[in-house]
A and B are shown apart, each in its own frame.
Chain A
Amino acid sequence: MPNTTSIQWQHDADAALEDARRTDRPVFIYFSAAPA
């Protein structure tokens, strides 16, 4: 599992998909129930 403190997370799926198209990368989505 990732170290959640150092990754620059996005929180908007559609914006992330747009970034994915722009940068030619897939999207990694982490679903969490742990305290933020």
Chain B
Amino acid sequence: MYPNPQVTEFIEQHFIPVQFHIKAQPAMWHRFGVRWTPAILVVGQDGRELYRLEGYLPAEPFLARLRLALGYYAANRKDWKTAEREFESVVAEFPNSEVAPEAMYWAGVSRYSASRDSAELKKLAQQFRTRYANTSWAKRASVW
């Protein structure tokens, strides 16, 4: 653990924060299927898991994943405009993050889901030819 005002502010601003300690609330570990610490789960208002992070990360990659989780939160609600904005923010703010290619993929999927225009998927595949080309996300987009 370390104090990081950016992380704290981001969590306070965007989430309802809950903490469970293994000794104090072991039932919660079983309820959410947690196997390792530290673990972060982002869950929707129906209690369903949207994103999981197991193990420690420094502030910047941690923030990139929290922003990515907000994209998944919006996508699960089919709020495609918000989802696209959140995923694009990951790529813009954390372009060298491990999750940036994942975010670029889902930004394109969000654009397609909002428009139902298959040209969006072709554009996404084209984007991956010039950016994040050697990633598994580029392979997934290569079908288009």
Task: List residues of chain A with CB under 8 Å of any chain B CB.
Answer: 1-13, 16-17, 19-21, 23-34, 36
Of A11, A17, A24, A26, which one neighbours B19 at CB under 8 angstroms? A11
Q: A28-B42, A31-B22 are in contact. Are A13 and B28 (CB under 8 A)?
A: yes
Q: A7-B11, A13-B31 are in contact. Are A26 and B70 (CB under 8 A)?
A: yes
Q: What's the least CB distance linking A8 to chain B, in Å?
A: 7
> Whose C-beta in chain B lies nearest to the C-beta of A8?
B17
Nearest 9 Cβ contacts at the A-B interface: A28-B15, A3-B3, A9-B19, A33-B37, A31-B39, A29-B41, A16-B18, A26-B73, A20-B45
B73: chain A residues at CB < 8 Å are 26
